[in-house]
Amino acid sequence: MTIGAADIDSSTVIDAVLHYDASIYDHLIIRLVRMPRVVSGMMVGASLAVAGGIMQGLTRNPLASPGILGVNAGAAFAVVLAVYLLGQVSLRAYMSYALLGAAVAGIIVYGLGSMGHGGMTPLKLTLAGAVFTAFVTSFTSALLISDQETLDQIRFWTAGSLAGRDWELVEFIAPILGGGMIGALVIARQITTISLGEDIARGLGQNTVLIRLIAACLVVFLAGGSVALAGPIAFVGLIAPHLARFVVGADYRWILPYSAALGALIITIGDTLARIIVKPEELPVGVMTALIGAPFFIYLARWKVR
């Protein structure tokens, strides 16, 4: 919170948090601009990481994440389409469109990945996600290029940005993302069982159809809510669960909370770097996570997918 267009020393930040005085300009900047931005970033990072962990556990696909399997792209397309058709749309209104887009994207990608001989495989699911993402992203770009007003409204948002987030928006979206993360922790044991294999899970008495349905709804709320708040930020949902798994092993009762903490940390670091590199201007945080995540994705694609 010390870094921005104008730096503020750490003692002033601490004073603004503990002894807020609305008559002091720096205190206003900290409490009304930078704090909600940091909190928004932590919520988005944690939510995307937990969504990615759920997807990796249920599909047993090391490349599964909301960004790579098209969920983020579907949510973003739905928001852009709504702005294109309806004109000015508030960030609050983004939520319903993002959730709808995320749900439709998940259904389509899962359906495509399950087609053909042998049903769903990690490679088929990844390819289906890549194809769907490319297809939807091309339509999103076409809408933005064809309408300057739409482009002007959400240009920064489409690259993944935390700029301009306020406490009102945080309070609106926190119950959705918080509820999604709590729900994920509740079914973490079942996700661990399913990650060992469908037959093993059924043999242990798990209702795999119900668990998958609940998990899919949680992913839609977590990913869709995150996209509505900050735009389509890639790779956080891929990186954080793998780092968590490296630290705590294969138990999703531990993977999911560690993923949430690591996801929040990744977004916070990425947003800080985004404000430093081209200071006093700033880059979208989605650009920074892409720079970090792309090499990680290549590594996983080469060494983890069989």
Tell me which long-range contacts 134-137 makes (C-beta under 8 A, separation of at least 24).
136/70, 136/73, 136/74, 136/76, 136/77, 136/105, 137/73, 137/77
Element (H, E) at 3: none
Q: Rounded mean pLDDT of 63-80? A: 87
Nearest to 82 by CA among 68, 104, 70, 100: 100
Percent pLDDT > 90 in the chain is 30
d(Cα 112, Cα 36) in Å, to the nearest integer?
39
d(Cα 53, Cα 48) in Å, to the nearest integer?
9
pLDDT of 126 strictly over 70: yes
Q: Rounded mean pLDDT of 261-279? A: 90
Quick one: pLDDT band at residue 303, thresholds 50, 70, 90? Answer: low
* pTM to 2 decimal places: 0.88
**What count of other Cβ atoms lies within 10 Å of the Cβ of residue 20?**
12
Q: Rounded mean pLDDT of 123-141? A: 87
Q: Cα dist. 93→66, 90, 154 in Å?
A: 21, 5, 13
Q: What single-letter DSSP state applies at residue 63?
A: T
Percent pLDDT > 70 in the chain is 94
| Residues ≥6 apart with Cβ < 8 Å to 210 | none
Pull the structure tokens for residue 147: 């309408």
Better-predicted residue by pLDDT, 161 or 174: 174
Q: Where are the beta strands (DSSP E) in 188-241?
A: none
Tens of pLDDT, residue by residue over 25-62, are 888 888 888 899 999 999 999 999 999 999 999 888 88
| Residues ≥6 apart with Cβ < 8 Å to 242 | 62, 296, 300
Quick one: pLDDT band at residue 242, thresholds 50, 70, 90? Answer: very high
Quick one: pLDDT band at residue 304, thresholds 50, 70, 90? Answer: low
